[in-house]
Structure 1
Amino acid sequence: MKTIYLFICIVGLLMSSCATSKKSVRKGEANVRHELLDARTFKITKFARDKTYGYSEDNPVKVGGGMEGPLNEQRFLNALAGPNGEKVTYKRQGSCCPFKTPNALFGDSGVLDMYEVIIEGSSEKIILYLNMYDSETLQVPVGFTLRK
């Protein structure tokens, strides 16, 4: 009897610890294929008008890629330059914001990756949210240009 009670308590604890109150991120298109400028850089031709694109967990940049997801995140960031063509550097800050996706590597959930982006000559630290599971046509976020 004690064993059954203990089992029920453990299962209940595990189920409640996996719950999340975060809202789901909008889903991407059915895996858009991205063109490469070179092996480490995406060719991007569109510029975002939406000021939340990439800056909000509700509107992340969807680079897709599955197993190539981390490389696709780098390919996207490598394409960016500052507003006047300045060099940018970036560093992954971690993951956040769980969401449901049909493109997950395991199960039906993914997380966003947060990157700190610094524009050369500026002390401002910009956080961009990237989704490596879903993909859509890539755009340059407001405040950035393309690397030459």
Structure 2
Amino acid sequence: MKRLTFAIMAVLLSLSCASRVVNPLLDVKPAQKASYGYTADDPIRIGYTGDRQKNIRFCYNYMECLQTTDGIPLQIISRASVPDPKNEPGNKGPLGFIPRRWGGELWGGILDQYSLIAEGSPDTLSLFFDIYHKEPLLIPIGLEYIAPVKDSTSSE
């Protein structure tokens, strides 16, 4: 009887500790700084998941939700890697891709720059992403964000 009670308690405890994965694309707030996302000094920091391709896909998913304040969707026309200005000689930041001694986390050193264009407009805009450091996602000033529809048929 004690074993049965213990087994039931263990199962209930393990089920009550289950966590839910939250999609960060569902809760995005507007940025307060005009430079957020538009300059290499203030990039959109999405954090490193351990898989660079996953991080790049996350950037694409985020940008697919952006549009101009007039409701015009943005189209990605190019992607490039640019140096992180915080890692320039003379700055106090670390240089290059040096793993931390005990944490294994990369310090960074490279940002992803995406050039986007609004449909029907000759003007381009650039967004900078830091895939090695994480902060809450925000919406750059001058853009609107349309949250993705949560697919109720998926098992995720």
Quick check: TM above 0.5? yes
Q: Does 90-99 or 117-126 show the bigger shift?
A: 90-99
Confirm or deny that 1:51 pairs with 2:34.
yes
CA deviations 1:74-116 (Å, max 9, x no partner) are: 1211121111111111133310114447532xxx433100000
For residues 60-139 of structure 1, the aligned pairs below 5 Å read 60-66=43-49, 67=51, 68-98=54-84, 99=87, 100=94, 103-104=105-106, 108-139=107-138
Q: What runs of 5+ residues in structure 2 fail to find an aligned partner?
A: 1-20, 88-93, 148-156
Q: Return the offset for 1:56.
A: 0.8
Q: For residues 47 and 65 of structure 2, what CA distance do their matches in structure 1 show?
A: 16
Q: For residues 141 and 122 of structure 1, what CA distance do their matches in structure 2 show?
A: 19
Q: For residues 27 and 120 of structure 2, what CA distance do their matches in structure 1 show?
A: 24
Identity value in percent: 23
Aligned CA-pair RMSD: 2.2
For residues 2-17 of structure 1, the aligned pairs below 5 Å read none
Q: Return the offset for 1:34.
A: 6.2
- What is the TM-score normalised by the length of structure 1? 0.64
- What is the TM-score normalised by the length of structure 2? 0.61
Q: For residues 44 and 120 of structure 1, what CA distance do their matches in structure 2 show?
A: 26
- Paired residues in the alignment total 108
Q: Which has the higher strand share?
A: 1
Q: Give the letter for the 1:95 counterpart.
A: S
Q: What runs of 5+ residues in structure 1 fail to find an aligned partner?
A: 1-32, 37-41
SS at match of 1:109: coil
